Amino acid sequence: MLPTRSADRRAQQAHTTDAFGSAHALPSLLKIVPYYGSGEIRQMGAPVASSDPDALGRLSDRIRVGLAGTDRSSVRPLLEGLFGGRFAQRHTEKTMFRDAYSLGEGSGDGVPYAGLIHPENPQSGPYGGTSLVWFPTTEAGSLIGLVVGTRGLSPDEGILMRPGHRRRIAALRRYLAQRRVEVWTKPDPAALGVLVPKTVRERFAGFDGTFQRYGREMYCTAVVPSDPAKARWVVQAFLDLYAHERGWQVLKPYEAEYDRLHGELRSDLFPSVDAEVVHRLLQSRHFVILQGPPGTGKTRLAEEIRERFFGGQGMTVQFHPAVTYEDFVVGLTPDARAGSLRFAVRSGWLLEAARAARERPFLLTIDELNRADLGKVLGEAIYLFEPGEIGSERPRSIRLPHQAEGMSTLDLPANLFVLATMNTADRSIAPLDLAIRRRFAFVHVPPDREVVVAQGLGLATEVFDRLTDIFVEHAPPEALELLPGHAYFIAKDTADLLSRFRFELLPLLDEYLRQGFLGPASSELSAVRDSIEDAVHQFEHAASTK
The per-residue pLDDT for range 326-349, each reduced to its tens digit, is 999 987 777 766 566 677 778 889
Query: 150, exposed or middle or buried, with CB in 10 Å at 0-12, 13-18, 19+?
Result: middle
Structure confidence by residue, pLDDT tens digits, 530-545: 999 999 999 888 888 8
| Peptide bond preceding 387 in cis form (omega within 30 of 0) | no
Winning range, highest mean pLDDT, from 16-20, 51-55, 503-507: 503-507
DSSP per residue, 138-160: SSS-EEEEEEE-TT-STT-HHHH
Angle subtended at Cα 511 by Cα 509 and Cα 512, rounded to the nearest 5 degrees: 65
- Evaluate whether 309 touches 280 at the Cβ level (below 8 Å): no
* Mean pLDDT for all residues in the chain: 86
Structure confidence by residue, pLDDT tens digits, 107-161: 667 899 999 999 999 988 999 999 999 999 999 999 999 999 999 999 999 999 9
Q: What's the CATH fold of domain 275-444?
A: Rossmann fold (3.40.50)
Helix extents (H) in 140-223: 157-160, 163-177, 198-203, 208-214
pLDDT at 45: 40
pLDDT at 71: 77
pLDDT at 233: 96
Q: Please report, for the chain, the start and end positions of each structural domain, with discontinuous segments joined by +.
A: 55-268, 275-444, 449-545
